[in-house]
Chains A and B, each alone.
Chain A
Amino acid sequence: MTDAIADGLLKGTIAAGARAIRWLDDRDPRGAAVIRHIFPATGRAQIVGITGPPGAGKSTLADMLVTELRRRELRVGVIAIDPSSPFTGGAILGDRVRMGRHTLDPGVFIRSLGTRGQAGGLSRSTHDACLVLDAMGYDIVIVETVGVGQDEIDVVNLAHTTIIVGVPGLGDEVQAVKAGLLEAGEIFVINKADRDGYEAAWRQYELMLHLREVSLGAAAGSWPVPLLRAIATAAEGGVEIVDAILAHGAALRKEGTFARRSGLRDREQTLALLRDHLARRALSPAGEAVLAEVEARRIDPYSAVERLLAELDGKALTT
């Protein structure tokens, strides 16, 4: 069953890829088996993150970029993430609404994911979903994050190229400086450029990028971070943004850091999986009892962790 799904997605079969992502998102053990199978076929796609505050127009921008990438005959996967309710775990995933015109294009695969309790603007499964779309042969995988605030920038570690989307009139300079957002990212876009306050926003971003260049110096690397304008609802700016995406991908490949970025991402994922598995192992089967002690305030959290780790050390290494 897992082999059929893995082979199917390697041939680009939509239903197989969709099922693999479902398993990975559901933490179904069959998902891990698929990743083992397809991993050698990954590492080719350029992962492009789109992030920015809620209402910046990320979905509409993604829609415009898909159109332009398709015009250049590139195959595009899209992973669009929306927040899950921290209370019920349910979610309304509405990013497809802005991308409806690509639904029947066989060169486009769009998948909506809920964050399912993960902080940082992505779902826990996003990295794996990128591997699946990569193995399916999509040239570009766009990852659209949830609307982010000041430091939910996990996408920066995931993507080869991160696009930061801003809009006019969101806040003063202090807001912009606080945002870790402005320290990251390889392409900046001010969307809704027909709105009031566009010139002021442009000046602020320009200043910010200049300061970043000065403070990072040589550490900034050789990529000159472009500041671009867009009116995604009017299909304006897509050509320039796609030019920048492809130029950045080419630059990474030329300086040999494309594969290194993928590798760093896999390293992060390994650490995340390890944390997850170790925590689960440390907690089974006696963990609930220790946690109950903490809840009753009979022992402090540090002692509780020590006790759980001591038990973990005693457990057989092969489970």
Chain B
Amino acid sequence: MQERSDRRLRVLLAKLGMDTHTVGVTIIGHALREAGMEVIFTGLKQTPEMVAAAAIQEDVDVVGISTLSAGHMRNLPKLARLLREQGAGDKLLLAGGVIPQEDQSFLTEAGVHKIFTMGADTRDIVRYLQDWWAERQASEAA
């Protein structure tokens, strides 16, 4: 039987801790939707444990964390570790927002795959995800 797959990129977008600045993450969400992706919002005041659990229940490909009021040096490495520990280390972990240059290499080493800072163009984020997705699918097909 000829089967057709309708794979669609699924992205979880979340904010950790007491950070309640939602404008950026909402805009990104809409840009990803316009690009044909399924975007799952979790709401505010999430802990790394909650984001990891939601990412697994939703079986997303990408977890995007918006961070605009610090806490990223503690929260993001913890989230990366939880995802790895729960067998979800293959999910792409992105961070965006106010992340000083001097923090970035630490975060990348801790397992954050890509960081977008203030002023990043949403089109660049969309393109980055589309390229990553194309590559992921090609490597799975190989």
Contact = CB atoms under 8 A, between A and B. Distances in A.
Interface of A: 14-15, 18-19, 21-22, 25-29, 84-85, 88-94, 96-98, 100, 103-104, 109-112, 114, 116, 277, 280-281, 284, 319
Nearest to A124: B6
Interface string B92-129: 00000000000000000000000000000000000000
Contacts of A88: 33-36
Contacts of B6: 25-27, 116
A272 B120 CA distance: 44
Q: Which A-B residue pairs are the 7 nearest by beta carbons?
A: A90-B33, A97-B43, A18-B59, A22-B59, A29-B3, A88-B36, A90-B36
Contacts of A21: 59
B8 A281 contact: no
Given A88-B34, A114-B8, A319-B1, 12 more contacts: A15-B56, A22-B10, A26-B7, A29-B3, A29-B5, A90-B33, A90-B36, A91-B33, A91-B38, A92-B29, A97-B43, A277-B1
B50 interface: yes
Contact of B2 (A15, A28, A281): A281
Contacts of B2: 280-281, 284, 319
A111 B33 contact: no
- Binding site secondary structure of chain A: mixed
B86 interface: yes
Interface string B78-89: 000000001110
Contacts of B33: 85, 88, 90-92
B37 interface: yes
A109 B56 CA distance: 10
Contact of B53 (A19, A103, A280, A281): A103
B37 A14 contact: no
A16 B86 CA distance: 12
B139 interface: no
Given A15-B87, A89-B8, A110 B41 contact: no
A93 B56 contact: no
A63 to B, nearest CB: 11
B55 to A, nearest CB: 9
Contacts of A111: 57-58
Contact of A100 (B7, B50, B59): B50
